[in-house]
Amino acid sequence: MIKKYISRESSFYKLYLYYRLIYKEKHFIKRKTYSQCGEDLFIFDYMKKNNIRKGTYVDLGAFHPIKCSNTCLLLNNDWSGTNIDLNQTAIDYFNIVRSQDNNVCCAISNKEEKVKVFINNIFSPINSINKEHAKRFNFNTKNKLSYSIKAKNLILYVRKKLIF
């Protein structure tokens, strides 16, 4: 499989992201639902019933701008927001497809500090800052893909961005 040979440093990285979006994941096709189990339909219907037509979302652990997305349906209906994920590849996808959103690569924690991220591969939806969680999912915790990232406190981050 080609994806195991692709790294963020590769000159083919961006090209491969576009290939996956257009040919493999067919991101240009409109869908009734984008989330894994219809959560986006529930959210959209709830907002519609409460006469909320436009708003702002914060998607934590956003993973992908289309596939298994709880916010893509909202985006397609004039909403906008912030997508947060600790995997830089996920944020690169968001920057391609949802450049109008605020896309942030960080971890969310109760403390603002540097944390180690354990990832299986750069396209994986399962990533963690918890070493025990990584072990449970059989990640190699000494994996060369692991890296450090700044963790932010969500409440402080939202207050700074939205100025409550």
Clarify whether residues 98 and 124 are in a common domain.
no
The mean pLDDT of 132-160, rounded to a whole number, is 80
Eight-class DSSP state of 20: I
Spatial separation of the C-alpha atoms in residues 164 and 160, rounded to whole Å: 8
Clarify whether residues 77 and 152 are in a common domain.
no
Q: Report if residue 130 sits inside a domain.
A: yes
pLDDT band for position 2 (cuts 50, 70, 90): low
Residue-wise pLDDT for 59-114, tens only, equals: 999 999 999 999 999 999 999 999 999 999 999 999 999 999 999 999 999 889 99
Clarify whether residues 55 and 80 are in a common domain.
yes
Clarify whether residues 119 and 151 are in a common domain.
yes
Clarify whether residues 69 and 119 are in a common domain.
no
Tokens of 109: 């924690």
Q: Report if residue 2 sits inside a domain.
A: no
Of residues 16 and 144, the one with the higher pLDDT is 16
Of residues 28 and 124, the one with the higher pLDDT is 124
Structural domain including 120 reads 106-164
Clarify whether residues 12 and 59 are in a common domain.
yes
Identify the domain boundary among 66, 86, 105: 105
Clarify whether residues 48 and 95 are in a common domain.
yes
Clarify whether residues 57 and 32 are in a common domain.
yes
> Strands (DSSP E) along the chain, which ranges?
56-60, 80-85, 102-105, 107-108, 114-119, 127-128, 147-152
Clarify whether residues 93 and 128 are in a common domain.
no
Q: Which residue shows structure tokens 């004039």? A: 78
Clarify whether residues 25 and 88 are in a common domain.
yes
Q: What is the pTM of this model?
A: 0.86
Clarify whether residues 20 and 53 are in a common domain.
yes
Q: With pLDDT > 90 as the criterion, what percentage of the chain qualifies?
A: 53
Q: Report if residue 111 sits inside a domain.
A: yes
Q: Whose CA is closest to 89, among 3, 2, 29?
A: 3
Clarify whether residues 91 and 122 are in a common domain.
no
Domain count of the chain?
Answer: 2
Whether 164 has a pLDDT exceeding 50, the answer reads no
Q: Report if residue 44 sits inside a domain.
A: yes
The CA R_g of the chain, rounded to the nearest whole Å, is 17
Spatial separation of the C-alpha atoms in residues 58 and 80, rounded to whole Å: 9
pLDDT band for position 1 (cuts 50, 70, 90): low
Judged by average pLDDT, the poorest of 14-23, 45-54, 66-75 is 14-23
Identify the domain boundary among 55, 82, 105: 105
